[in-house]
Structure 1
């Protein structure tokens, strides 16, 4: 018998939730000037009764709309979680992440060899933190080493860790390569991310063709993996323009079911000097997401056909 799920706890002190969220934005958001304006907006909207609800899902939606009203930052949210959260600074949804990790075979739900010698690696729903995901990713990439073509399916990849992105890229490049730089507001510092000089298992390498499949759902860490490989000229991106979230974030529980997610850094690609925030990753070969695999396979077949 399935145990009934208890309804989410109501928000009994909305002003306290709003004030804590506003202060977290002021203290941590990567753009301090925007943070001050957004905090003022939240406090003004509270005073006008805009947040008069005890429903945590509804409150999260209203506050998120206001947080994203100035620059559309999709990582800046008051995110509702049906399950109770942990306390303090994120990952506040650790139990939820562990369930997702197990259910997706460690973030690699599909490894398949197709007719013609192409291997499909589906990564998602997240590129989980590297201490969790190194083993399944290494196993998957090593298994695909002997394929003639690699297709990375990121159509359902909605987030990830920059260290894990660098780990995945390390299997697809022969030389040590600068992938990304993160600017962190805390400490006003920059951190570079490079491919690894050595990886567990075997590399697919930097010569054989790679195609990356994207959708309008692809987000954050999934976008970085596509963007890095695209602008290094290592992969052809096939599918839809992605959602456009390039700011790594931290999370804080401000209520048992509400997480304030605040971007604490921004990405700077060494090739473009910018990132995919607000614009998304634009595919090299645009097509509907549900046809992207067939399109990539056709591109691979055409590329391997000798020209007369």
Structure 2
């Protein structure tokens, strides 16, 4: 037992030491390629050039070179990039040894898989409320190959309910796949074009997204759907709410969402840092635009903490 405690202390000490050992030269190496990566890959080329120029000014000020802690560097860089770009998908993150089950493993996928298991593949709460109302809390739309079975099980559990509340408050987004699966429950007939995504790379063909008949259970055509959102609802979860609202399939309740419409990709930096950059832009087929910087606007505007109660109240009043 004593040996285990000593080993744990050594691991914690090593992780702490690593997070404190940034030098000026190491920071230069980490941030050196950021402007070029932004300019080459940002979805709006003119805006990307300006973001790169503005970030170079921040770099040249020398403000980053006194930082010694990796978490602090991540926070400061991310704050500056979001302020400069006004884009919620512009940020930095860093994989530490302590983020994975095996100390020292530098593996983003291992970190992702561990989080998926911890959060039940995004589906953290499923209830059957009174008045035959289903309730599903989704905290993140996770990797569909691993999370789809959980999504199918969740939708099967509520398939006999008359009303459904899907809670994506504080859901920052994630992967496509699961959200489209849920959307499919509210469409029938031929495939419906939902959106077209345009890429920063002119060589890439615009990507169209349609509904499909992929539903393992009952459709919910005509059944009331209430989606709960707030200011921390972002990215893929905003796509989910915005799309169902635009097609008249859902009532959105809560607070305006984050306004992060762009699709992002990760680009490696040195020392196991990476930068997220917006590389694509979805356009809704109904609205001919998206929610970038505007957010998803609720049909019923209430404080985030009151959104579930309000949805239940609306259901009761309709009955």
Partner of 2:28: 15
Unaligned runs of 5+ in 2: 101-105
Alignment correspondent of 1:236: 251
Q: Secondary structure at the match of 2:277?
A: strand
Secondary structure of 1:198 counterpart: coil
Distance in 2 (alpha carbons) for counterparts of 1:256 and 1:85: 15
Which residues of structure 1 form unaligned runs of 5+?
none
Identify the match of residue 82 of structure 2 among 57, 61, 68. 68
1:241 is displaced (CA, Å) by 0.9
Contact 1:172 1:203 in 2 (8 A): no
3-state DSSP of counterpart to 1:292: helix
Is the contact between residue 122 and residue 154 of structure 1 (CA under 8 Å) also seen in structure 2? yes
- Confirm or deny: 8 A CA contact 1:84 1:256 kept in the other structure: no
Deviation at 1:204, TM superposition (A): 3.7
Contact 2:170 2:231 in 1 (8 A): no
Post-superposition CA distance 1:250-294 (Å, at most 9, x none): 113324453201111011011111111111111100111111111
Q: Distance in 2 between matches of 1:178 and 1:92?
A: 36
1:111 shift after superposition: 1.2
Q: Are 1:282 and 2:293 counterparts?
A: no
Match of 1:49 among 49, 55, 62: 62
CA distance in 2, matches of 1:265, 1:164: 20
Give distance in 1, aligned partners of 2:87 and 2:188: 35
Q: Using the alignment, how far apart are the partners of 2:299 and 2:269 within structure 1? A: 41
> Is 1:263 matched with 2:283?
no
| SS of residue matched to 1:297 | helix
Provide the rounded CA distance (Å) in 2 between the counterparts of 1:83 and 1:207. Answer: 49
- The 3-state SS of whatever aligns with 1:68 is helix
Whether the 8 Å CA contact 2:30–2:271 is kept in 1: the answer is no
Match of 1:129 among 135, 139, 143: 143
Which secondary structure state, in structure 2, belongs to the residue aligned with residue 294 of structure 1?
A: helix
Structure 2 Cα separation of the partners of residues 139 and 208 of structure 1? 19
Query: Is contact 2:268-2:275 (8 Å) kept?
Result: yes
Task: Give the distance between the partners of 2:98 and 2:46, measured in 1 at CA.
Answer: 32
Q: RCO greater where, 1 or 2, for CA within 8 Å and sep 6 or more? A: 1
Q: Deviations over 1:129-170 (max 9, x none)?
A: 221221111111122110010110111311122333222201
Alpha carbons of structure 1 residues 71 and 253: separation in structure 2 relative to 1, 3 Å: closer
Q: TM-score, normalised by structure 1?
A: 0.89
State the Cα deviation string for residues 12-49 of structure 1 (Å, max 9, x = none): 31222112222221221111222222222333322221
Q: How far apart are 1:299 and its partner, in Å?
A: 0.6
The higher radius of gyration belongs to: 2
TM-score (norm 2): 0.86
Write the distance in 1 (CA, Å) between the matches of 2:97 and 2:211: 36
Contact 1:122 1:152 in 2 (8 A): yes
Q: Secondary structure at the match of 2:318?
A: helix
Say if 2:206 is the partner of 1:190: yes
